[in-house]
Amino acid sequence: MGRVVTGRWVWGGMHRAGEGLIRVRTFVQVYPRSRGKRIMVRAPVIGRAAVFLFRMSLGLRRLAPQASGCLRWLCTSREWTNFTFHVTEHNLREMAEFVHLVTGAPRETARCYLDEGLADTGLRRHVAEVTAAVPFCAFADREARFGRRLGWYALARILKPRVVVESGVDKGLGTCLLAAALLRNEADGSPGKAYALDIEPGAGWLVRPPYSSAVEFRVGDSHATLRQMSEQIDLFVHDSDHSYQHEAGEYRIIQERLSDEAVVVSDNAHKSTALMDFAASVGRDYYFCPERPENEFYPAGGIGAVPMGKSRG
Ligand SMILES: C[S@@+](CC[C@H](N)C(=O)[O-])C[C@H]1O[C@@H](n2cnc3c(N)ncnc32)[C@H](O)[C@@H]1O
């Protein structure tokens, strides 16, 4: 049996004919190699229905891990805001690369510090015990899941900052992790202090001894608090009001108070360009590391960082 010719007539371009132009109609032949595709071409209604079902199965297969992640989250977590989660091994490697690029420290060193923060059993126990003892323990998880805060930890271990500022504290998981880095730095001979700023007077309830010894709380709007601070800042972490105006305002206020080797971090860089714009305005490089939660249900964020000591290359 000869090959079945399928195709259709289409209008082509204009061709010169004598003095004028004529439109040309061409028969475009289609010879799909697979039987299924030939049927789709010859019976487009059935073809479209089959493709619709195929596309639907693709979509559902993409949603399945999120749906099962959502079920796991509903059954295993008590959190209803500021979710905490573990990140993938792939993401830890990306974070090590990010910290290496931001600080210039070897990526192996960055990875060691990420692992050090991750494996801090003392801090994990502290989080579990304090969470179990607070009145709203029914709405918080006892397991310490640091996510991208591990990036802040590695930066604090490498930079050995004298002054860290974290704007936006919530229960204080990031503050505790930063304090753990500062306490280890102190044991290594490089003491430092963290200023934890939050508008909520009750924020930072996780920050108790021994971590509280490295932390000073300032309650109030972060703009007002930052304006009152006179300390030179070595590491700044934005994690407060995530509106562009507020975040950009924080960078404007601290700009003159950053030390020469300071690093400015945004925990909101996946949603806002405020830090990227700040980097451009001061002629510095901007780096970004995406976050990849183990449970695909969580909306992933990302960390942005601007090393003030590195001129734009
Ligand atoms: C995303 S949470 C901080 C999370 C925290 N850094 C952590 O590691 O889990 C945001 C916090 O910013 C605080 N906040 C919101 N607006 C603020 C403002 N204008 N000034 C200071 N803190 C603010 C909120 O009270 C909240 O505790």
Q: Which of 207, 236, 240, 247 to mutate to test the pocket of ligand 1 (most atoms within 8 A of CB)?
A: 240
Residues 173/144, Cβ–Cβ less than 8 Å: yes
Give just the sign of the alpha carbon dihedral 69, 75, 76, 79: positive
Phi and psi at 8, nearest 5°, equal: -155, 160
**CA 203–ligand 1 middle distance (angstroms):** 8
Q: Which of 152, 198, 226 to mutate to test the pocket of ligand 1 (most atoms within 8 A of CB)?
A: 198
Atom of ligand 1 nearest to the CA of 171: 9
Q: Please give the average per-residue pLDDT across 77-81, as a whole number.
A: 92
Written as six digits, the tokens of 5 are 């010719």
Residues 309/260, Cβ–Cβ less than 8 Å: yes
Tell me the C-alpha distance between 47 and 215, whole Å: 65
Name the residue ranges covered by the structural domains of the chain: 6-70, 85-307
**CA 198–ligand 1 middle distance (angstroms):** 6
Written as six digits, the tokens of 247 are 């975040």
**pLDDT bracket for residue 7 (50, 70, 90):** low
Give just the sign of the alpha carbon dihedral 216, 140, 117, 65: negative
pLDDT in tens, 53-68: 999 999 999 999 999 9
Taking the model in full, what pTM does it have?
0.87
**CA 197–ligand 1 middle distance (angstroms):** 8
**CA 25–ligand 1 middle distance (angstroms):** 65
Quickly count: other Cβ atoms within 10 Å of residue 204's Cβ: 24
pLDDT at 36: 79
- Give SS3 for 284: strand
Amino acid at 303: I
Phi and psi at 167, nearest 5°, equal: -95, 115
* DSSP summary character for residue 145: -
Tell me the C-alpha distance between 78 and 59, whole Å: 29
Annotate 48-111 with DSSP letters as a single string. HHHHHHHHHHHHHHHHHHHHHHHHHHHHH----SS----B-HHHHHHHHHHHHHHH---HHHHH
58: left (phi > 0), else alpha (psi -120 to 50), else beta? alpha
CA 31 to chain centre: 47
**CA 182–ligand 1 middle distance (angstroms):** 21
* Percentage of the chain exceeding pLDDT 70: 92
pLDDT at 3: 55
Atom of ligand 1 nearest to the CA of 198: 22
Residue minimizing CA distance to atom 7 of ligand 1 = 174
Atom of ligand 1 nearest to the CA of 200: 25
**CA 285–ligand 1 middle distance (angstroms):** 26
- CA neighbor of 199 nearest in space, from 236, 152, 239: 239
Tell me which architecture the domain covering 85-307 has in CATH: 3-Layer(aba) Sandwich (3.40)
pLDDT in tens, 126-176: 999 999 999 888 899 999 999 999 999 999 999 999 999 999 999 999 999
How much is the mean pLDDT over the chain? 92
**pLDDT bracket for residue 207 (50, 70, 90):** very high
Residues near ligand 1 with C-beta < 6 Å?
82, 149, 166-170, 173-174, 197-200, 203, 221-222, 239-241, 246
**CA 75–ligand 1 middle distance (angstroms):** 27
Q: Please give the average per-residue pLDDT across 261-286, as a whole number.
A: 97
**pLDDT bracket for residue 101 (50, 70, 90):** very high
pLDDT at 1: 47
Residues 238-253: b if buried by 16+ CB within 10 A, e if exposed: bbbbeeeebbbbbbeb
Atom of ligand 1 nearest to the CA of 170: 27
What is the widest separation between alpha-carbon atoms in the chain?
94
* DSSP summary character for residue 232: P
* Percentage of the chain exceeding pLDDT 90: 80
Q: Which of 84, 170, 207 to mutate to test the pocket of ligand 1 (most atoms within 8 A of CB)?
A: 170
**CA 62–ligand 1 middle distance (angstroms):** 33
Residues 237/164, Cβ–Cβ less than 8 Å: yes
Q: Looking at per-residue confidence, does 310 or 294 come out higher? A: 294
